Amino acid sequence: MNTLEQLNFDNTFARLPAPFHSRLKPTPLAKPYLVSFNANAARLIDLASDESSRQDFAECFAGNRLLQGSEPLSMLYAGHQFGHYVQQLGDGRAMLLGEIRNSVGEYWDLQLKGAGPTPYSRSGDGRAVLRSSIREYLCSEAMHGLGIPTTRALCIVGSDDEVYRESIETAAVVTRMAQSHVRFGSFEVFYHRGQKEHLATLADYVIARNFPHLVDVQEKYAEFLREVLVRTAQLMAKWQAVGFSHGVMNTDNMSILGLTFDYGPFGFMEAFDPGYICNHSDHGGRYAYDQQPQIGLWNLTALAQALTPLLPVAEAEKILDEYGDIYSEHYVELMSGKLGLTYAGLEDFALVEPLLEMMRVSELDYTNTFRKLAGFKSAPGELNSALRDQFINRAAFDEWAAAYRARLQAETVTDAERKARMDRVNPKYILRNYLAQTAISKAEKERDFSEVDRLLQLLGRPYDEQPEMESYAAPAPDWARSIEVSCSS
């Protein structure tokens, strides 16, 4: 494991031509302090955990002191925001320090989010607040624990510097890690500017760095679009299966690698509601939970359009037509797994859809209901009373339970084996908004970061029982129902 000075920087994005980025330095924070350090993420870049105890660690990850080998820059991109094209966005409050190549040859971007104004800040202050930094830090690691592709988070550094949002808050910087921060909007900006040469340069760069198996493929741009489509379709299915809503699925928030990206007003759905809107700013419900799969395709269509100078329109359209089947197949596979079935088929929607409808009518907690379903007894005559009594319409549950029992009898596993398998795909713990808010309140009011670290550990093992943490699986208490998250979150 390495010290900070020994990190192996190899800054490939910085070597792209000037139009792709703006070089600059972070704006220092006054008296930065470490809020939390993620040892699991540190291992990805071969960083020794004890480096976090250095006196200058917070200075480095506040941006006050540049790491040896780093070349800070902000990335240019554009994007569709709530369906409307915005011609220039870019990293308005984030700076790519550089790229670290680890001992197994993987590249990991190190990005400071909240490091001060950039040429793309659009009159903003370029800062992040402690509240939003804690939310992103915890959720990115929670998603990783759930097995969902995501950016990672190395640490949070705080400061008493004041930042104005809806009220005065304190500043923070979260160090985000990903194998690329290129997004759909990175391609859109050059398409809409008519700069085909830059579009080709970016596509060739991304393919060489992140899709090297496509470098010598004759139709490499078409195959690149297809791979991005597959990753995105499968990511949407994973979000739906776990009950996650992103909140702001603008094209500039869509990762070219199919990662969960740019955490803002996200939310894990509690009481099942297909129309769940986690973003208080999303007045029209464009990014509601049940809209996410279709928005995934809408965003891919914008990407495909941006790539049309590099591949025939007809080929792009043909690839886009594959999205529905890829999404549906993966979603059915995931939901069949949540029901404990050893093989998946479209016919299993006959079990999934009525169960979800009963959960909606009864306003049942999405995560907890699937977790409890693992205890379903399949023997004839079993009433499964504890589960049954949660549903308003008991007769509807009995009808569904009979169909489920018949389907389970076609399997060759015992109830105990099925429960063990279901517990591996139905989490016990998710990052409920009230859990994040509790950690935020302690951090803001008392400078007590113990709850942040506790949640980091808990959410790294979301499928394990962890009896000492049982209370963290409870749905939101009454006081938490007023919590709202918006684009400032």
- Cβ atoms 156, 173 nearer than 8 A: yes
- Cβ atoms 100, 7 nearer than 8 A: yes
Torsion of CA 363, 350, 342, 236, to 10 degrees: -60
Q: Which residues pair with 152 in a beta bridge?
A: 177
Q: Give residue 333's Cα distance to chain centre.
A: 20
Q: How far apart are CA 167 and CA 275, in angstroms?
A: 30
Place of tokens 């002191």: 65
Q: 3-state secondary structure string, 246-267?
A: CCCCCHHHCECCCCECCCCCCE
**Of 252, 262, 282, 365, catalytic:** 252
Buried residues in 438-466 as b, exposed as e (16+ CB within 10 A): bbbebbbeeeebebbeebbebbeebbeee
Q: How far apart are CA 268 and CA 291, in angstroms?
A: 15
- Contacts by residues 391-400 (CB-CB < 8 Å, ≥ 24 positions apart): 391/358, 391/361, 391/362, 391/364, 392/361, 392/362, 393/358, 393/361, 393/362, 396/354, 396/358, 397/358, 400/351, 400/354, 400/355, 400/358
For residue 387, which of 399, 375, 395, 379 has the smallest C-alpha distance? 375
Active site residue 415: no
Catalytic residues: 252
